[in-house]
Structure 1
Amino acid sequence: MGVVKAISQQIVGGPEVLQVVEVDTPRPGTGEALIRVVATSLNAADWKARRGIVDGLGSPPFTLGLDVSGVVTEIGAQVSAVRPGDAVFGMAMGANAEYVVAPVSALAPKPPHLDHVHAAALPTAALTAWQALSDIGAGDRVLIHAAAGGVGHLAVQIAKSRAAYVIGTARAANHEFLRDLGADEVIDYTTTDFGTALDPVDVVLDLVGGDYGSRSARVLKPGGRLIDAQGNDAAGDPRYHRIYVHPSGAELREITALVAAGRLRVEVDRVMSLADIADAHRIGESGHVRGKVVLTAI
C-alpha cells in the first residue's frame, strides 16, 4: 500500500510538537487487523503522553491515539472474527493516523445505528467507566467527579443502568445536561465544597486527581471504594483503588447493547480534522470539554 500519513512527535512537549508525517503502511500480525481510520478521539492520556507525563510509549518518535472507528482492510494470521470490509471500533494504539493495526480482541463491530464519529468517541472513555464501575449495584450512592467530561458523562449513564444513585460534580453550565443523562444530584464544584454538601457515599469515581482523593475520602463510607482514574493523593487509604483501562472487544459489545437500548449515548463536543490535532490538544487540555473531541481522518 506504500506510504500513508500519521501524526508523530519527535520530542515531548506542547501541542506544537505534533506534526503530520509520512510512514510505511503498517502490516497486521497474528491475531491483528489493519484498519483504515475514519475517526479517532482525544483522551487525557494523549496529551499526558505528549507531554511525557505518563510512560508506556518509550522515547519519541511515536504516534498517539487510543480510539478508532473505521474499516478493516487486511487481516493477519489466525483471524476469523473480522474480514476486510467490516466496520469496526475499539482501542488501537497509534490511531492518530490514516491506518492503524489493532488486536482483533480489542475490536467490536461498529454499531450500525452510530456513525463513525460517535463510535470513535466511545471505546477508551466507555471502557474506563465500565471497568471502574463494574462492582456497583442497585442503591449504591456513587459520586462522579468531572461528570460532564468524556469518561464522566458515560459513567453517569452506566451507573444509572446499574440502578445506582448518582451524584456528579460539574460546572453549573453542565447541570441540565447531566440531569438529562440521569444524574440524581449535581454539585457546582466552583461554588460548593462537595465535602460538606453530601451525605456519605458508597463509591467515588475520581476523574480529576490531585487533592480530590483526600477530599473525596472524607465523604466516603468506611467500607466504600475510592476509584482513582487520574492519580490522586489518597493512595494510602485502604479504600483506594487505582484503575487503568484495558482493551476489550467483549465489553464493547456489552456497551453497544446499552447504546442500542437507548440507555447510553455519547456526547461529541466537536469534530475536528486530524490535521488540526494541535488545536484539539489545546482544547482537550482546557478541562472544559463536554463529552468528547473527535478527530476525522487526515
Structure 2
Amino acid sequence: MKAIVFDTFGGTEVLHEAQTEVPEPGPGQVRVRVQAAGVNPVDGKIRSGTMEAVFPTTLPAIPGGEIAGVVDAVGEGVDHLRAGDEVLGWSDTGAYAQYALATATVLALKPADLGWTHAAALPVASDGADRVLDLLDVAAEETLLIHGASGALGTIAVQLAVARGARVIGTAGPANQEYVTSLGATALVYGEGLVERVRALAPSGVDAVLDAAGKGALEDSITLRGGTDRIVTTADFRARELGVVFAEGPARRSAARLAELARQAADGTLAITVGATYPLTDAAKAQQASDAGHGRGKLVLTVG
C-alpha cells in the first residue's frame, strides 16, 4: 500500500512516500480503507522528535492518528462492525496511508450525510475540546476565554462551551473575527493590549481560559485570572514553567460521544470547518501549513 513515512526525526523534509505492507487486523481490530486523514499539530511535533518524552516513536513511522474510511477487514472478537461500514475515529497504525488498523471500540459509524473530509476533522478536535472543558469545569453563566478560537479545536470548543450555557470570548486574527462570531462567541483580535480589550468585554473578569493557540497568551491569561487557576493550554510548552496546566493526558476516545457529535455535524447543529485539503502525496505541505499555524479550521489529507 502507499503510505507516508519518516525514518528519522526532523523537519517536513523527512516525510516521504513509501510502499508498505497492508496491515492485518488483530483481535479487537478492524482494517480501514482510509478515505481522509486529519492533520494535527501533534503530528509535526512527533515527526520533529520534540514529543518523544510523551509519545515515544518507533522508526520508521507513519504519521497521524485520525481517520475516516470504510471497514475492509474485521479481526477476531469484533461483532459490531463489518466490512463495508463507513467509520471515523482513531487509528492504531498511522493515518497517512491507504489502509490503517483501528481498535473497533473507538470507531463510530459515519452518518451518510457527513462527508469524508469533515468526518476526518472531528475525532481529535472534539475529544480534545470535551476533555479541556471538563478540566476547566466550565459551567453555565461563566465566561470562558478561548485563544485560537478559529482553529480546529477552538472551533469545536467554542460551540460545546456555548452549548453548556457559557459565555465565550474567542481570540483570532482579523480575518477570522466574523467566523468566530458565527460560532457563538464574542470575537476579539489577539495581540498587544489584549488584557484591556478582554476587560472591556468582561468587566467582572473571566472564569476560565483555554489556550489552543500557543502564541504567547499565557502571561495575559494569568493577569486576567489573577493567578494560574483554571487555565489550560493545549499548545504552549512553557506551561509548566508558568504554573499552568498543559493538557497532555490520554485521549478519551469515546465512540458513543463521537457518534453523537458526528450526528450533530451531519445535521448542521455542530459546525466543522475544513480549512484546506491536500492529497496524500502532499503530506509534507500539509504539515508545513500545520507547523506554521493556519487560521481557520482543520487541515485534511484526502486518501481514497
TM-score, normalised by the number of residues in structure 2: 0.90
Q: Is the 8 A contact 2:46 2:57 kept in 1?
A: no
* Residue aligning to 1:91: 90
- How far residue 210 of structure 1 moved from its aligned partner, in angstroms, is 6.5
Q: Which of the two has greater helix per residue?
A: 2
* Residue aligning to 2:105: 105
Q: Which moved more, 1:218-227 or 1:37-46?
A: 218-227
| Counterparts of 1:140 and 1:221, CA distance in 2 | 16
Q: Is the 8 A contact 1:91 1:106 kept in 2?
A: yes
- How far residue 233 of structure 1 moved from its aligned partner, in angstroms, is 3.3
* Residue aligning to 1:277: 283
- How far residue 231 of structure 1 moved from its aligned partner, in angstroms, is 3.6
* Residue aligning to 2:202: none
| Counterparts of 1:158 and 1:261, CA distance in 2 | 16
Spell out the pairing of 1:263-274 with structure 2 (5 A cutoff): 263-274=269-280
Pair 1:223–1:189, CA change in 2 (3 A): closer
Query: Secondary structure, in 3 states, of the residue corresponding to 1:235?
Result: helix
* Residue aligning to 2:153: 151
Q: Is the 8 A contact 2:23 2:99 kept in 1?
A: yes
- How far residue 257 of structure 1 moved from its aligned partner, in angstroms, is 4.0
AA of the residue aligned to 1:68: I
Query: Secondary structure, in 3 states, of the residue corresponding to 2:125?
Result: helix
2:170 aligns with one of 163, 168, 171: 168
- How far residue 36 of structure 1 moved from its aligned partner, in angstroms, is 0.3
Q: Is the 8 A contact 1:228 1:243 kept in 2?
A: no
- How far residue 213 of structure 1 moved from its aligned partner, in angstroms, is 2.6
Spell out the pairing of 1:228-247 with structure 2 (5 A cutoff): 228-235=233-240, 240=245, 242-244=247-249, 246=251, 247=253
- Counterpart check, 1:74 vs 2:80: no
- How far residue 223 of structure 1 moved from its aligned partner, in angstroms, is 9.2
| Cα deviation 1:221-276 (Å, max 9, x = unaligned) | 66951122124434367773634351221221232243245331110111110111
Q: Which moved more, 1:236-245 or 1:29-38?
A: 236-245
Q: Which moved more, 1:153-162 or 1:257-266?
A: 257-266
Q: Is the 8 A contact 1:127 1:245 kept in 2?
A: no
* Residue aligning to 1:49: 46
* Residue aligning to 1:19: 16
- How far residue 57 of structure 1 moved from its aligned partner, in angstroms, is 3.8
* Residue aligning to 1:203: 208
Pair 1:46–1:234, CA change in 2 (3 A): closer
Query: Secondary structure, in 3 states, of the residue corresponding to 1:24?
Result: coil
2:138 aligns with one of 127, 136, 139: 136
Query: Secondary structure, in 3 states, of the residue corresponding to 1:219?
Result: helix
* Residue aligning to 1:31: 28
Pair 1:132–1:254, CA change in 2 (3 A): farther
- Counterpart check, 1:120 vs 2:120: yes
| Counterparts of 1:263 and 1:138, CA distance in 2 | 19
AA of the residue aligned to 1:75: V
Q: Is the 8 A contact 1:48 1:54 kept in 2?
A: yes
| Counterparts of 2:288 and 2:242, CA distance in 1 | 34
- How far residue 50 of structure 1 moved from its aligned partner, in angstroms, is 1.1
Query: Secondary structure, in 3 states, of the residue corresponding to 2:230?
Result: strand
AA of the residue aligned to 2:159: Q
| Cα deviation 1:63-110 (Å, max 9, x = unaligned) | 101110000011111111211110000011401100000111211011
Query: Secondary structure, in 3 states, of the residue corresponding to 2:43?
Result: helix
Q: Which moved more, 1:162-171 or 1:244-253?
A: 244-253
| Counterparts of 1:223 and 1:214, CA distance in 2 | 9
Task: Output the aligned Cα RMSD.
Answer: 2.0
| Counterparts of 1:241 and 1:50, CA distance in 2 | 20
Pair 1:11–1:237, CA change in 2 (3 A): closer
| Counterparts of 2:246 and 2:20, CA distance in 1 | 39
Q: Quick one: percent identity of the two aligned structures?
A: 36
How many residues end up aligned between the 2 structures?
Answer: 293
